[in-house]
Chains A and B, each alone.
Chain A
C-alpha cells in the first residue's frame, strides 16, 4: 500500500512533525488517530487500493468495467482462455431439485411440507439483496450476468462456547443459545441458525444480505461468483469445527430438511451447497480457507447432498489461490479431494494456454483482483476479525 489511503504523501512529514511535539502519549495518539482517520473503520481505507483519481472511475467501477491495478508485483499477464467453470454433466449439477412447499405461516414460525419448522422470533431485516454479478465467458473479459435470487448455500459453524450435550446441561445450552441468537441477530451474521437441539431460526430474511461469507468465491457450470454475501445464503450450526463430529443428530436432520426447502425454493443445485472453509479466501496472501468453518467433517451425505469436498474449489481452479501449511495442519495433512483436482486442472490449463503454471496463476490472480476491486471487496483480510464493531 502506498500512503495514499492513509495520509497523502505531502501531509505525512507535517503530521509526523506535529505529533512529535505533543508530549502526552494520549494526546499524541488522539492526534495521530484523527490525522490518519482510521478509527473506527480502518480496514476499508487501508486495504482497498484505488488509483489516485479514482473518483473519475466511480461509474465505471460500479459497472465493473474498469481494471483497477492490483497490488500484484508481477507484470500484467494476458491469457486468452475461457473461464474454467465446472463440467455441466456431473451429478452435483444434474441431480433433481426436491419439491417442498410452505404449509403454514404463523406469527412466530413457518412450517413446510417436509416437516421443517422455522422459528421467526429472532428475524431482523438487514440490507435488501441487490442484483449481483455472475461471471462466465473469457478469462480476460468475463461476461457478466446480473442475478437476483440466491444461487447457493454456505454452511458455517458458530465456533461459540459448546457445553457437553447432556440432559443435565439443558438449561445452560438454552441460555448460551439465546445469547448466541441475540448476538448473531445484532450483527446479521447468517440467514439461518440451527441451535444445539436442531431448532431452526431465521435470523436474516432470505431477501436480504447477511454478513456471513467475507471474501469468498465459488463457481457452478453457469457462473463464477465473487463475494458470496450477496449471492449465497448463510446457514450456521451452533457447534465448533474440531477433532470429532460435533453436529447432533437433531442438527443434521434440520440441516437436511432446511437444505431441501432452500434448494426447492431457489432451484439450487447440490454443488452450490458448500462449507465456508471451501469458499473463504484471504486475498492479502492469495490463500484459501481464511475461515476454517467445516473445513472437514461436514456430513454431506447425511444432509442429502453429494460429497462436495470432492468438488474443485473455485478459489484454486478459477482464481489461482493456494493453500498453505496452516491449512494442511487444520486438515491433519489431508486436503480435500477436490483441492488436488483443482491444482491438476490449473496445471492442465496452463499447459493448454502454453504458459508456465506460475504465469497462468498470476493471470488468474489478476482476474480475481480486478473483479474484487470492481465489487469493492477488501484486498486483504488481516484486520477483519475485529471489523464488526
Chain B
C-alpha cells in the first residue's frame, strides 16, 4: 500500500526553510530557521547547552547551533545570529553559507533516493535580472547531492499553486517574506509575469531600527508579537513599523501596476482575478485590509475579484512547491 507520495516541496526562504509533504489527503509541514550561531568551544558553554537540551555540534573548536534552536542559543549566549541568505538568495558575503544551508536542508529533508523535489527561488527585481542562476544552481546541486531530482519553482508561482486551485491556478500570488516580496501573475497555471521587490520583513526591521535607535532584532520581536494595523498607535515603535509597512505595500502595489502597464505579453484576463497574500510579513492583523485600501486608491489595470489571505500564510509556498513536484 502506498500512503506516502514520494515528492517534497521545499520553500527555501531568507528567514525560514519549510518542507511540505503529503500523506494521503493530508499535507504536513516542518520548518527550520535559516540561521546559525557559532561561538568558541568551552566546556562551560557545552555544559549549559546540555542542561538546556539544545542540540549542537562542535566543529574546528567552535560550537555550532543551527535552525530553530539558534535563536534561543543566541539569546542565551548573547551571540549574533548569522544567516545563510540575504534578500532571497545565498549570501555571498557569508563564508559559511554553503556549508550551513547544506546541513539545514539535509536535517529537514534527509536523503532523497531519487525522489522528486521542488524548491522555491525568488523572481528577479522588477524589470531586471540579477544573476539568480547561481543561487538556483547551487541549491540544485546541494539537493542533487542528497539524492533528489530537484527542480526550481518561482516563489510567487508556488503561492498560486498552493492557494488558487479554485480558479484553475489563475490569479496573482504574492509572498511577503523576510528578504523579498515575490509576485507572480499566473494564467491557467502558466506564469506570465513575475518579479520581486526588495522590501519585506528585514527592510521593515532595519529601517525602523535605524529611526528608533533600537536593535533590529528587538523590532522584529516586537513586530511579530504585538504589531497590528489599527490607524492609531500610542507606541512609537509601532508607529514607525506602520510607516515602513505602508512603504512596503505601496512599493509592491506600484510595482504591480507598473509591471502590468509595461508588460506587452499578458493574456487578456476576461474575468476578474483573485489576489492571494502569504508569507510571514503578511501575518499582522489588518494587513489584508491595508493592502486592499492602498490597491484601491488608484485604478488598477486588471479587475480584481477578491483579495484574500492564504489559508496558512507560513506554509503556502512550500505547499505550492509540493503540488508542483507531485504534478510533474
**A-to-B contact residues, CB < 8 Å:** 1-3, 6-7, 12, 15-16, 19-20, 25-30, 32-33, 35-36, 38-39, 42, 46-47, 49, 71-73, 157-164, 169, 172, 179, 183, 187, 240, 282, 284-287, 289-293, 324, 326-327, 379-386, 388-389
Contacts and interface: CB of A to CB of B under 8 A. Distances in A.
B327 A33 contact: yes
Contact of B265 (A162, A284, A326): A284
A161 B127 contact: no
A71 B265 contact: yes
A42 B126 CA distance: 20
Contacts of A285: 127, 262-263
B181 to A, nearest CB: 15
B6 to A, nearest CB: 13
A290 B187 CA distance: 24
Contacts of A284: 262-265
A32 B187 CA distance: 10
A287 B191 CA distance: 21
Q: Is the interface of B mostly helix, strand, loop or mixed?
A: mixed
B326 interface: yes
Nearest to B90: A161
Interface of B: 90, 92-93, 95, 97-98, 121, 123-134, 136-138, 141, 151-152, 154, 161, 165, 168-169, 187-195, 262-268, 323-324, 326-328
B129 A290 contact: yes
A19 B190 CA distance: 14
Contacts of B132: 385-386
A358 to B, nearest CB: 16
Contacts of B193: 382
A32 B189 contact: yes
Q: Which of B134, B188, B267 has the most CB of A within 10 A?
A: B188
A1 B188 contact: no
B264 A161 contact: no
A29 B266 contact: no
A94 B284 CA distance: 63
B97 A161 contact: yes
A16 B117 CA distance: 27
Nearest to A25: B165
Given A6-B188, A46-B190, A29 B324 contact: yes
B324 to A, nearest CB: 7
